[in-house]
Structure 1
Amino acid sequence: MRRIGRRDMVAAILIALLAGGVFTSPPLETLQGLSLDILTALRGKIIGDRRDPATSPVVVVAIDGETYDTPPFKGSPTQTWTREIGRVLGSIAEGGAKVIGFDVIFPSSIEQSEIPFGEAPLGARMKGFDRDYLIALRRLSDSGKLVLGEILSNDHPDRPDRAQQLAVKNNIRALNVHTDSDDVIRRMPLSFSIAGQPAPAMAVELAARALGAKPEIGPTGMTNLSGYAVPSAVPNTLTLNFRGLGRDVPAYSFADLRACVEKGDRDFFRRAFEGKVVLLGTILNFEDRKLTSMRLSGGYDGSPGSRCALPAPASTAKTRSDVAGVFVHATVVRNLIEQDAVTELGSPMRTILTFAFAAIIACAACMLAPFGAVIAWLALTAVYTAAAVGVFVHALALPLTEPALASLAALAMMTGYRFVLADRDERFLRKSFALYLAPEVIETMVASGKMPALGGEMRNVTMFFSDLSGFSSIAETMTPGELVTLMNEYLSAMTDIIEGHSGYVDKYIGDSIVAMFGAPADDPAHARNAVRAALKCHGKLAELNAGHPAFAGHGLSHRIGLNSGEAVVGNIGSRRRFNYTVMSDTVNVASRLEGANKYYGIAIMASEATVAQTGDTFAWRELDAIRVMGRGEAIRVFEPLAEMGAETATQAKVAAAYAEGLTCWRAREFAKAADAFGKTAETDPASALFEKRARALAASPPPSDWTPVNILEGK
């Protein structure tokens, strides 16, 4: 996981603000409606709605295809249906309906027809045809059970016939709908201004009469009906909640009801309409169809109501992207009565939520690889969608498309930002070190966020020098092919170990290896890793000598020198060609310690600086204090035996005897020192060396200014 810096955090915030601002801006306000559509579809698909249509407070009386195909309506113009409509409405009212609303408008009467018919116009010959219908309207209007519909328009208003207006005493309400910019109905107006006064919409009027209350508009413009403050994201509108996708509203065929009137079955009207709000409207395939929030899920033109007189049609209800307009008004009535309208978040809250979502994904895209960021976006979007559907069950609509799209845009922009700017250094580092640095070391460097400075920087490192002993004489006995095979196997094995301990191989010089620990990647444990690598390299060479065919008969041995301290590391060289390497006295001392191994007959020698940085991780044997060529100051040198507690009994015995001898040596007790070194001289070359030196000084004591420092003349 990539670490986020201050620059990255600022970029993530700016990208989230930009994405959030764009996707909640007015030009993209249709996304808010799309969220409603998706939530409606997901709720219907995942959760559904099991409400019994019989419990619906509103029902629809449908002038449907069956009505047009059933006598006496078949082949008859709708202006001639008025008397039958009056009869059916009278039976519905007698059945106990609370209020009846018209979603159909009869703007003319057959009595007004000027078509010639014999010696007089048809209308004159039909005088009195609408009398019973108008009487039925007057009776229902006077009882407060009837509301006719009209369409308000400055250009082409659509109102009922003048005689109907007089019959209901202008008891008429608007059927206008609120259409979004994408021609989808998701919200409905609550009131209209008529002659400077607010007048409730048709659905609001019907719900108010059913509840026995009047709608009130508060100081903030919010409509209150019977204690229910109608939520309005868009002022003076109600957001439709199609909880049952239209199936929760029963629809009765007008043809069947007219036959039921002929049959005289009053009980049916009571069972079907008692206590209900009734909407008279059309359900036809190509007339008054509306796109709503159900357009993605598919809606239903109601649930077929029970039948009274005619057999039920054979056709079954199918989902459609559009629904009959009467069900839009029916949904509003039900939402108001059941206090179940959708509550949408206001613009500030939608913007904040969208920004937060985009910011989370922007940060994820900054920390993770592109594929991981996409997975994070998918996971977060899925979780958020599930939560949004969960709260939509309770009629609260969270923005869905805006956060999802804004966060996706933030993901794309942050990925582009990283590619162009933020990851430029990382790509440079990977390209620069890919061929000569272990992948895990490169990953460590990238994760640390610290790139090596071009031109060099001071770093505390541990240098590792190794060289094969007497290799020149061995090489003389081998063919070039055998030599290359041997060296490739040896160098590969040693390099794998070095890189496996976070080391960096600086160069190969023939059979020699120059490596450093602690650069280019930061490694607080570079001294411990260097010592472990040296011990493992020594053990690995023993395995190769014992088991690899290329090493058979050669008995290769090597020397390793370790030293820790400050060094300049970086890209060093000419303007045209440079290498990532290291320079300092720390490097020179490590090189000298590698060569000093041969004087003591050992394989690994480390400086006291390296020992100090390893703590108590290893068991050591102090060898001597030496002054290497080219350096005036003496340094103490040590041999690593094993991890602390892992040394063998023989190693411990030799180390103890050697320590005793070294103490006597430094105290000028040369005879005692010789005896102590002599205990292990047969098996330990370093003890043998000191025994010989101690006996010589015991026989010929040094001057008083003698110091126990071994001066090495060679490299």
Structure 2
Amino acid sequence: MRRIGGRDIVAAILIALLAGAIFTSPPLQALQGLSLDILTALHGTIIGDNRDPATSPVVVVAIDGETYDTPPFKGSPTQTWTREIGRVLGSITDGGAKVIGFDVIFPSSIEQSEIAFGDAPLGDRMKGFDRDYLITLRKLSDNGKLVLGEILSNDHPDAPYPAQRFAVRNTVRALNVHTDTDDVIRRMPLSFSIDDKPVPAMAVELAARAFGAEPQTGPSGATILSNYAIPSAVPNTLTLNFRGMGRDVPVYSFADLRACVEKADRDFFRRAFDGKVVLLGTILNFEDRKLTSMRFSGGYDGTPAPRCAQPVPAGTTQKARSDIAGVFVHATAVRNLIERDAITELGLPARAILTIVFAAIIAFAACMLAPGGAMIAWFGFTAVYAAVAVVTFVHALALPLTEPALASLAAFAMMIGYRFVLADRDERFLRKSFAFYLAPEVINTMVASGKMPALGGEMRNVTMFFSDLSGFSSIAEKMTPGELVTLMNEYLSAMTDIIEGHGGYVDKYIGDSIVAMFGAPADDPAHARNAVHAALKCHGKLAELNAGNPAFAGHDLSHRIGLNSGEAVVGNIGSRRRFNYTVMSDTVNVASRLEGANKYYGTAIMASETTMAQSGDTFAWRELDAIRVMGRGDAIRVFEPLAEKSAESAEQTKVSAAYAEGLAYWRAREFAKASDAFERVANADPASALFAKRARALAANPPAPEWTPVNTLEGK
């Protein structure tokens, strides 16, 4: 995970603010409606609605295809249906309906027909045809049981025939709907201004009559109906809650009800319509179809209700459609008002804040994580948020869905761009600079730590690693150039893999020599321990190469490794035009001298006292000597790492014990006893053989009193 700084935090906040402002701005207002559509689809698909349509407070009486195909309506113009409509309406009212609303408009009467019929117009011969119908309208209207519908328009108004309007004493309400810019109906108007007075829309009028209460305007401007403050994100509208996807409203075929009137089945009308709000409307496949919030999931033209007299027509299986009959839009609005579950949408400030917060979360994720991880975070967070939004939508609260999702996606893209252009510039430079010198995991650790190498140099506590092949020049003289290159590539590759695998940095190759450091450029508190581990592994790997690699066959290569820990200057050092990341200090020189000192003692690895001390108790050591290397006045105690703690062999333990005993006698000037101790293991240990020889010489010729047990090395 990438660390973030103050600049990154400011960038993430600014990006979130910009993305949130863009996706909640007026030009993208359609996203609010898209959220409603998606939430409606998710709710209908995942959760659904199991309410029994029989419990619906609203029912629809449908002038449907069956009606058009059933006598006496078949082949007859709708103007001739008025008497039968009046009879059915009377039976519905007698059955206990609270109120009936017309979602159909009869703008003319057959009594108006001027078509010639004999020696007079047809209309004159049909005078009185609508009398019974008009009487029924007057009766129902006087009882508060009927509301006719009209379409308000400056260009093409559509209103009931004047005689009908007079019969209902002008109890006519607008059927206009609220259509968004994408031609989708998601909300319904609550009222219209007619003659500078607010007049309730059809759905509000029907619900008000069902409640027996007049709509009021609250202090905040909200419309209140029977103590229900209707939520209005868009002023003077109700956001439709298509909870049942249209299937929660029972539908009665007008043809079947007309036959039921003929049958005189009063009980059926009582069972079907008692206490109900009834909407009379057309349900046809080609007329008055509306695109609503159910357009993605598909809606239904109600649920067929129980029938009274007519058999169920064949081939009437319902299928979900992207559009529904207009009467169900009004039926849904009425049901939302009666059941008080119209959708509550958040206002612009709340939507903007939620969108900005969502975008900020993803922006910070994109700042801290790799692009792939940030994209997974976006998917996961969006899925969780969508689940929460669906749950709240079940309770009639619509959280914005598309705005946060798209704004956060835009914030993700902008943050990735910001990182590429600015924030990760140093990281890319680092990776490019060290790609051929450090293991990828070391570079990743360095990047994650946030500690970049300082240009120009800095003081760091490091462990230096020097290695050199013994007598390689004489071996190389006997090899062809191709064989030499193959051998060196195999050897250097194997050693480098081990060094980098333990967090080391290969500074340079000098012929067959390797110069490496641990603790820089990647900060590593355990650099001494890792350097010793690497040295032991390199020594073991060379034995494997000698035994099993064809390029090493017959050469029996050996190498010497020197380790020293201490302060050093590391960084990009060189000329103004050419520089390398390298290291300089006395710590480096001492490590180089210790590598060369191995040949005096016949050892493969030699480490300074500081390296031994900084590596803790991880390894088994033996102290070799106190030496004074060329170019340095102070003596250095040097040690040989044998193996990891408790992993040394019995032979190593035996040799180490005898050597320690001899070294103690040596430093106490008891040279004869020192010689005896060293002699016990001299055949198996070159260092013991060296000291045995030196002890015998000093036993025969004791040194001066000022003698100190320090070996001064004359060469490198």
Q: TM-score, normalised by structure 2?
A: 0.94
After TM superposition, list the pairs within 5 Å mapping 1:486-635 onto structure 2. 486-635=487-636
Q: SS state of the match for residue 562, structure 2?
A: strand
Deviation at 1:119, TM superposition (A): 5.8
**Counterpart check, 1:656 vs 2:664:** no
State the AA in 1 paired with 2:627.
Answer: I
Q: Deviation at 1:109?
A: 3.2
Matches within 5 A, 1:437-476: 437-476=438-477
What's the offset of the Cα at 1:77? 3.2
Q: Report how far residue 672 of structure 1 moved.
A: 4.1
One-letter amino acid of the structure 2 residue matched with residue 514 of structure 1: V
Q: Which whole-Å deviations, capped at 9, do the CAs of 1:63-117 have from their partners, x for residues lacking one?
A: 2233333333334333332222211111111111111011122233343455666
Between 1:166-175 and 1:115-124, the stretch displaced more is: 115-124
Measure the CA separation in 2 of the matches of 1:221 and 1:112: 45
State the secondary structure of the residue aligned to 1:294.
Answer: helix
SS of corresponding position for 2:295: coil
Match of 1:17 in 2: 17
Give the residue type in structure 1 aligned to 2:198: P
CA distance in 1, matches of 2:368, 2:408: 15
What is the DSSP-based 3-state SS (H/G/I as helix, E as strand, rest coil) of the residue aligned with 1:683?
A: coil
**Following the alignment from structure 1 to structure 2, what is the Cα–Cα distance between the partners of residues 551 and 324?**
88
Distance 1:399 1:232 in 2: 15
Q: Quick one: distance in 2 between partners of 1:548 and 1:100? A: 98
Give the Å deviation of 1:593.
0.6
Q: Equivalents in 2 of 1:628, 1:561: separation in Å?
A: 13
For 2:351, the equivalent position in structure 1 comes to 350
Q: Which amino acid aligns with 1:253?
A: S
After superposition, the CA RMSD in angstroms is: 2.3
Larger CA deviation: 366-375 vs 621-630: 366-375
Gaps of 5+ in 1: none
Q: Does structure 1 residue 90 correspond to structure 2 residue 90?
A: yes
Aligned equivalents of 2:99, 2:630: Cα separation in 1: 112
Deviation of 1:157 (Å): 4.0
User: Which amino acid in structure 2 is aligned with residue 14 of structure 1?
Assistant: L
The answer for the alignment partner of 1:149 in structure 2 is 149
TM-superposed CA distance for 1:398, in Å, is 1.8
Alignment of 1:284 with 2:323, yes or no, is no
Distance of 2:112 and 2:550 partners within structure 1: 116
Identify the range of structure 1 (704-713 vs 53-62) with the bigger mean alpha-carbon deviation.
704-713
Query: In the alignment, what sits opposite 2:218?
Result: 218
1:41 maps onto 2:41 in alignment: yes
* 2:293 alignment partner, SS class: coil
Q: Distance in 2 between matches of 1:91 and 1:580?
A: 98
Give the letter for the 2:334 counterpart.
V
SS of equivalent residue, structure 2 residue 662: helix
Deviations 1:687-709 (CA, angstroms, capped at 9, x unpaired): 23233333433444434443332
Aligned residue-pair number: 715
Alignment of 1:2-151 (within 5 A): 2-113=2-113, 122-151=122-151
Instruction: Note the alpha carbon deviations across 1:36-84, whole angstroms, 9 max, x for none.
Output: 1111112222222232222221111112233333333334333332222
SS in 1 for 2:681: coil
Whole-angstrom CA distance in 1 between matches of 2:224 and 2:184 = 26
- 1:559 corresponds to which letter in structure 2? R
Which one is further off, 34-43 or 216-225?
A: 216-225
Query: What residue in structure 2 maps to residue 270 of structure 1?
Result: 270
- Superposed displacement of residue 21, structure 1: 1.6
Q: Give the CA deviation at 1:443.
A: 2.0
**SS of equivalent to 1:80:** helix
User: Secondary structure of 2:639's match?
Assistant: strand
> By how many angstroms is 1:386 displaced?
2.6
The 3-state SS of whatever aligns with 1:466 is strand
Further displaced range: 547-556 or 495-504: 547-556
Pairing of 1:223-242 with structure 2 (within 5 A) = 223-242=223-242
Residue 383 of structure 2: aligned partner: 382
CA distance in 1, matches of 2:560, 2:319: 87
Tell me the CA shift for residue 327 of structure 1: 0.5
Where 2:224 maps in the other structure, the secondary structure is strand
Corresponding residue for residue 413 of structure 1: 414
Q: How does 1:334-349 map to 2 (within 5 A)?
A: 334-349=335-350
Equivalents in 2 of 1:547, 1:80: separation in Å?
A: 107
Q: 1:292: Cα distance to partner?
A: 0.7
Shifted more, 628-637 versus 67-76: the winner is 67-76
Q: What pairs up with 1:167-246 in 2 under 5 angstroms? A: 167-246=167-246
Q: What are the ranges of 5 or more consecutive residues in structure 2 without an aligned counterpart?
A: none
Q: TM (normalized to structure 1)?
A: 0.94
- The worse-fitting range, judged by mean Cα deviation, of 331-340 and 452-461 is 452-461
Output one character per residue of 1:545-598: Cα deviation in whole Å (capped at 9) or x when no partner. Answer: 233333333322111001112222233333443333222222111111100111
Range moving further from structure 2, 30-39 or 417-426: 417-426
> Secondary structure at the residue paired with 1:473?
helix
> Which piece of structure 1 moves more, 480-489 or 111-120?
111-120
Q: Which moved further from structure 2: 563-572 or 151-160?
A: 151-160
> Are residues 1:332 and 2:298 paired?
no
Q: For residues 553 and 662 of structure 1, what CA distance do their matches in structure 2 show?
A: 36
Partner of 1:394: 395
Within 2, Cα distance between the matches of 1:81 and 1:452?
92
- Residue 259 of structure 2 is matched in structure 1 by 259
After TM superposition, give the deviation of residue 195 of structure 1 in Å.
4.2
Distance across 2 between alignment mates of 1:434 and 1:173: 77
Shift of 1:714: 0.5
Counterpart AA for 2:38: I
One-letter code of the match for 1:205?
E
Structure 1 residues 586-595 or 50-59, which shifts more? 50-59
Tell me which moved more, 501-510 or 472-481: 472-481
> Post-superposition shift, 1:122?
4.7
**Counterpart secondary structure, 2:522:** coil
Using the alignment, how far apart are the partners of 1:619 and 1:255 within structure 2? 102
Instruction: Give the whole-Å Cα distance in 1 for the aligned partners of 2:104 and 2:550.
Output: 100
Alpha-carbon distance, 1:384 to partner: 2.3
Question: How far is the alpha carbon of 1:123 from its aligned partner?
Answer: 4.1
1:279 is aligned with what amino acid?
A: L
Residue 175 of structure 1 aligns to which amino acid in structure 2? L
Q: Which moved more, 1:462-471 or 1:284-293?
A: 284-293
Q: Deviations over 1:498-527 (max 9, x none)?
A: 111111222222221111111222211111
The letter for the 2-side match of 1:411 is F
- What pairs up with 1:290-309 in 2 under 5 angstroms? 290-309=290-309
Displacement of 1:273 in angstroms is 1.5
The match for 1:158 is 158
Deviates more, 1:263-272 or 1:175-184: 263-272
Deviation at 1:279, TM superposition (A): 0.4
Q: Secondary structure at the residue paired with 2:62?
A: strand
Residues 457-513 of structure 1: CA deviation (Å, up to 9, x unaligned): 332211111111122222333333333333222222212211111112222222211
2:549 partner letter: H
Secondary structure of 1:579 counterpart: strand
Identity of aligned residues (%): 85
Residues 136-184 of structure 1: per-residue CA shift (max 9 Å, x gap): 1111111111111223345554332332222222222222222222121
- Cα offset, 1:216, TM superposition: 2.9
How far apart, CA to CA, are the structure 2 residues paired with 1:298 and 1:545?
76
Equivalent residue, structure 2, for 1:427: 428
The 1-side partners of 2:515 and 2:472 are apart by 17
Give the Cα separation in 2 of the matches to 1:515 and 1:285: 82
